Structure 1
């Protein structure tokens, strides 16, 4: 049985079509962004979805997200593990890594991801 994701991951999600509309790009480009590690997706209730927290209020990808994902993937982390880490509260940040990135502290999160991947 697959490890369950934290509730915060599945709290607000967007379909590939929704993300494409918000980013003003074709759905095929969103799939490519996932494949390239600039976004992460997962299957939830029979649908491929992307956490809404990965997009800014200005309909752009959160700054630093792709670098963090790529660092962790290169370090051997699986996408479910990366999703879990991004949405797990960390008192030393404070908050979750994705919350810190959304608040403009992406460099700190990327540094931590790089250290984890070593």
Structure 2
């Protein structure tokens, strides 16, 4: 899980839609422990949001019944390149007009451009 920095509010705004661990468990029909295991396994990244600093996950990280399969490897590439979780979240959600789809790297991942996003992640994280 990511600990907040001075730029907490700007990251919250950049990502936009967040959901909580209990809401994810309910959505997927799994236990809280299962969602926490996805976090521990770095299949999801979390951030503390709102006034109460609740552990939250970007909604775009979620598929219908599990984390998006493209995420774990992308998180690994960025982390291996030296990025911390906050930097990874910012990179994934920062709009990039040079991508093959409109939006940010997360939007390109969702649209099926995993190879292109990971290629850029390798270059960026060096």
TM-score category, normalised to shorter length: 0.7 to 0.9
1:39 aligns with 2:44: yes
Provide runs of 4+ in structure 1 moved above 3 Å: none
Cα distance in 2 for partners of 1:102, 1:112 equals 15
Cα distance in 2 for partners of 1:97, 1:38 equals 17
Q: Over aligned residues, Cα RMSD in angstroms?
A: 1.7
Gaps of 5+ in 2: none
Cα distance in 2 for partners of 1:117, 1:35 equals 22
Cα distance in 2 for partners of 1:20, 1:107 equals 29
Gaps of 5+ in 1: none
Aligned partner (choices 60, 68, 76) of residue 70 of structure 1: 76
Residue in 2 aligned with 1:53? 60
| 1:1-118 map, 5 Å | 2-3=6-7, 4-5=10-11, 7-9=13-15, 11-45=16-50, 46-56=53-63, 58-93=64-99, 94-118=102-126
Taking structure 2 as the reference length, what is the TM-score of the superposition?
Answer: 0.81
Taking structure 1 as the reference length, what is the TM-score of the superposition?
Answer: 0.86
